[in-house]
């Protein structure tokens, strides 16, 4: 089962997809103003539990891609930060 979520973080568009396997995979891309031809690299993406404790972070690649593997099913917040 695949779910697609869109989060607007400041002026960045974060596209998230989750796939259920033997744990959850949360991955996606960060694009400047939602333009898929303008991926944003070096963005720190954090996956946090609902208490705002950072569980894991990932720095996007040049193509804006990030991925979190083996995420325990639950409720999380996704945030993105850049020095741009």
Q: Kindly report, residue by residue over 52-65, the tens digit of the pLDDT.
A: 776 799 999 999 99
Prediction pTM value: 0.70
DSSP category for residue 72 = P
Tokens linked to 57: 């972070």
Degrees (nearest 5) of the Cα angle 51, 74, 79?
Answer: 55
Q: Kindly report, residue by residue over 10-58, the tens digit of the pLDDT.
A: 444 555 544 444 578 889 999 888 888 999 999 999 988 887 776 799 9
Of 77, 78, 80, 67, nearest to 24 by C-alpha is 67
């Amino acid at each position: 089962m695949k779910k697609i979520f869109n989060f607007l973080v400041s002026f960045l568009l974060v596209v998230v997809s989750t796939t259920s396997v033997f744990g959850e995979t949360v991955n996606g891309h960060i694009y400047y103003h939602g333009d898929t031809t303008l991926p944003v690299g070096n963005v720190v993406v954090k996956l946090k539990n609902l208490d705002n404790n950072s569980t894991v972070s990932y720095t996007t690649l040049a193509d804006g891609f990030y991925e979190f593997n083996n995420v325990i099913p639950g409720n999380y917040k996704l945030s993105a930060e850049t020095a741009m």
